[in-house]
Amino acid sequence: MRLQAAIFLIATSGVLAGSVAIKSAVFQKETSSSYLELVPLKPLSLSAFTLCMRVATELKGEREVILFAYRTRDFDELNLWRELDGRLAFYLSGEGVFFDVPQLGALETHLCASWDSSSGAATIFMDGKKSLTKIYKKGHSIRSGGTVIIGQDPDTYLGDFDANQSFVGEISDVNMWDHVLPASTIQDIYSGKRGPRGNVFDWENIDLKIRGSVDVVTYEL
Amino acid sequence: MRLQAAIFLIATSGVLAGSVAIKSAVFQKETSSSYLELVPLKPLSLSAFTLCMRVATELKGEREVILFAYRTRDFDELNLWRELDGRLAFYLSGEGVFFDVPQLGALETHLCASWDSSSGAATIFMDGKKSLTKIYKKGHSIRSGGTVIIGQDPDTYLGDFDANQSFVGEISDVNMWDHVLPASTIQDIYSGKRGPRGNVFDWENIDLKIRGSVDVVTYEL
Amino acid sequence: MRLQAAIFLIATSGVLAGSVAIKSAVFQKETSSSYLELVPLKPLSLSAFTLCMRVATELKGEREVILFAYRTRDFDELNLWRELDGRLAFYLSGEGVFFDVPQLGALETHLCASWDSSSGAATIFMDGKKSLTKIYKKGHSIRSGGTVIIGQDPDTYLGDFDANQSFVGEISDVNMWDHVLPASTIQDIYSGKRGPRGNVFDWENIDLKIRGSVDVVTYEL
């Protein structure tokens, strides 16, 4: 038993020390047709989540940018945006919660959003730094049965895309958990330690469906 | 040999995974009524102190923000402010000492202030980085018998609050010592090592009295 | 039992308290008279050097700031400046070498300058990060027989001070070597490891002569 523990831990430290080759999605230009569909490991019936990604974009000025869209037939269940004014926000079926944080830019930002229904605590992390907490949609639940896409904002189910809201730049390492990760775990993931794999999305083993013109390249973390 | 390795690795993972759940106070909007009262472990009769907290706020521009207020019946014994012009300052019964440091923002800053009566050395630390020292109120003493509050600036004892000076955002991990901590200890605390517990305020075991509308959530460091 | 406790406590205090108390020089206001004289361990007859210090200042905008001045009767042998435009520069008897690095500010910067006569390699380090190398005064030698001061720029030997060039803020941990230190050693010193002591100036054992109004306080690294 103890022997197994030793072997397991040695294996774990082996993972920590190695560089990992990961896929990275490059959206070269503004379109109303190109996107990635992400197949989840389990239904997105969620009363809490942590969603992380690495994102870089040269989009600036007054421009909305969709970063993550989970829509069921009737609702935007979980959308993550860069707003017109540069703030970051996420929306759970209706009004959003806004964070007046530093701008995304051409250098990669490790970005996480987390939310917990029981307390309503909503938080953004940028490069391992935690934002102030907002109290948002206490008691709400995210419903299953939709589709997650990256690159476009669907105003109807997988349709009505608007090029002016599309993502241009690079997104990778999209991972999602059905619970709130500790701040120290998010700092570890930011600083390159391969922490716990996402149980909703695990980018290292993700099933991606490419629609339109998206370049998926590989780079070593 | 293998047994020792197992024990060592278990101990290591114990340190890495040693995330601590702490309370965090969210002030969602500007009020002249909401605040926290912090019950100290000992009277604030002090000839030196180190006061630390984690703070995040979206307040900007020309806006005073009270970060910590300790008032006795007749005096503001120790008040920590973000000034109109964005500088940080603290006041020990009268004129303050000002620090032209980087702005507080929506991403959490680990902030400490320290002062020692014998030398008058007054210093700010932001995210583990020490400011220049100012010589301030050499020989002065902070008097006991008052109340510490977070969220409002009392112009009289626990009264005369001004919404325009109130705190909006999130404050947590407020710890206070009756002496000056070494710079390396403050760096350790900033980087998440749980250092020596405060002997005036110890946030992990603090007695908080909530007045008005303050959301106290829990998050894992 | 008591023995084990003792061993544990010694080990703990060894780790936690491995902090060093060092002197720190606070220049509270602009003067043309206040400075520190630093007595070297050996004559400054140098064909290479590394000069390090911790420096914090609130001086901004178009303002020259002298950081270190070594003058013999006729020459400015080695002067380190913040220039009018915020660049850092050092001068070895004549024209200087300029580095367009981040600004000094109210939070302490660990600053080093190094130079080697045989290659002419001149470099600045800020908080352990190395600048680009400039080739400067290959074959030159720094001459002995002068005096090192902090706080003022002497236009004649220990005289003709100009308040508009004086240092205001805090300087500590001034160490100097008669050779170029490896980048990794400078990073270690920056991150608080007490590396090799300077053999020209060793701040922990330095002989300081205070002229005018300079507050020398002690703080624990």
Q: Within an 8 Å CB–CB cutoff, is residue B216 touching chain A?
A: no
The string of pLDDT tens digits covering residues C78-93 is: 999 999 999 999 999 9
Q: Name the closest residue on chain A to residue B193, using Cα atoms.
A: A184
Task: Say yes or no to pLDDT of A138 above 60.
Answer: yes
Reported as a pLDDT band with limits 50, 70 and 90, residue A192 is: confident
Reported as a pLDDT band with limits 50, 70 and 90, residue C12 is: very low
Contact, B142 vs B49, CB < 8 A? yes
Sign of the Cα torsion C11, C17, C20, C21 reads: negative
CA angle in degrees (0–180, nearest 5) for C207-C141-C98: 85
Among the listed residues A134, A137, A129, A95, the one whose alpha carbon sits nearest the alpha carbon of residue A112? A129
What confidence score (pLDDT) does residue A207 get? Answer: 92
What confidence score (pLDDT) does residue A3 get? Answer: 43
Q: Within an 8 Å CB–CB cutoff, is residue C194 touching chain B?
A: no
B180 vs chain A: nearest CA distance in angstroms? Answer: 26
Reported as a pLDDT band with limits 50, 70 and 90, residue C155 is: confident
What confidence score (pLDDT) does residue B194 get? Answer: 79
Task: Say yes or no to pLDDT of C196 above 80.
Answer: yes
Contact A132 B2 (CB under 8 A): no
Task: Say yes or no to pLDDT of B200 above 60.
Answer: yes
What confidence score (pLDDT) does residue A15 get? Answer: 41
Query: Mean per-residue pLDDT for B54-71?
Result: 96
Say whether A211 sits in a helix, a strand or coil: strand
What confidence score (pLDDT) does residue C159 get? Answer: 79
Contact B184 C169 (CB under 8 A): no
- What ipTM does the predicted assembly reach? 0.85
* β-sheet bridge partners, residue A209: A37
The string of pLDDT tens digits covering residues A19-68 is: 788 899 999 999 999 999 999 999 999 999 999 999 999 998 899 999 99
Write out chain C residues lying below 8 Å of B186, CB-based.
none
**Bigger pLDDT: C144 vs A1:** C144
Q: Within an 8 Å CB–CB cutoff, is residue B85 touching chain C?
A: no
C104 vs chain B: nearest CA distance in angstroms? Answer: 11
Say which residue the tokens 């250092």 belong to: B195
Task: Say yes or no to pLDDT of C22 above 60.
Answer: yes
Task: Say yes or no to pLDDT of C18 above 70.
Answer: no
Reported as a pLDDT band with limits 50, 70 and 90, residue C14 is: very low
Residues 6+ apart with CB under 8 A from C65: C57, C59, C81, C82, C104, C165, C166, C167, C168
Contact A100 B107 (CB under 8 A): no
pLDDT, chain A, mean: 90
Reported as a pLDDT band with limits 50, 70 and 90, residue A155 is: confident
Contact B220 A180 (CB under 8 A): yes
Q: Name the closest residue on chain B to residue C57, using Cα atoms.
A: B132
Phi first, then psi: give them for residue B5, nearest 5 degrees: -60, -45
